[in-house]
Amino acid sequence: MATSRPASSTAHSRALPRRPLFRRLLWVVVIALAAAVLLYGPTLAALARTGSAYGARIGCSCRFVEGRPLGQCRKDFEGGMGLVTLSEDETARSVTARFALAFPQTATFTEGAGCQLQPWPRD
């Protein structure tokens, strides 16, 4: 006569192998992300800084050359710039753009010269 295991122990034994598999997959994802940051980090930072600079220049031209409210200037952005935020300094007549709240770039309006970016910091 064969003995049968209770249903709860059978279900429990099936659940155990999933945990190590999940941990292995989690480690693979963490290692892949770390490798991506090490390999592409400088490139991603340069792209973020370029996006911020573009946003600052476009925002400054929209606000101080065209005279539109800053809230309307996002319409002038290219696709994929959803993480770029704008802020203005009315007294300095400048617009600062940030990509994901980092990599700030500022463009300042000067009569006769238009909007000019501040020099990029040397890293």
* Per-residue pLDDT band at 11 (split at 50, 70, 90): low
Confirm whether 81 is domain-assigned: yes
Q: Is residue 43 part of a domain?
A: yes
In angstroms, the CA 91 to CA 118 distance is: 16
CA distances to 4, 8, 20, 22, 23 from 11, rounded to whole Å, are 13, 5, 16, 18, 20
Between CA 106 and CA 97 the distance in angstroms is 6
Structural domain range at position 44: 25-114
* pLDDT greater than 80 at residue 8: no
More confident site: 55 or 3: 55
**Average pLDDT score over the chain:** 83
Task: Assess if residue 19 is contained within a domain.
Answer: no
Query: Is residue 9 a part of any domain in this protein?
Result: no
> What's the total number of domains in the chain?
1
Q: Which residue has the tokens 């999940």?
A: 22
Is 70 part of a structural domain of the chain? yes
- Is the pLDDT higher at 19 or at 116? 116
Note the pLDDT tens digit of each residue in 81-120: 888 999 999 999 999 999 988 889 999 999 999 999 988 7
Residue 10 counted as domain residue? no
Residue 122 domain-assigned (yes or no): no
Tell whether 13 is covered by a domain.
no
Residues 9-24, mean pLDDT to the nearest whole number: 63
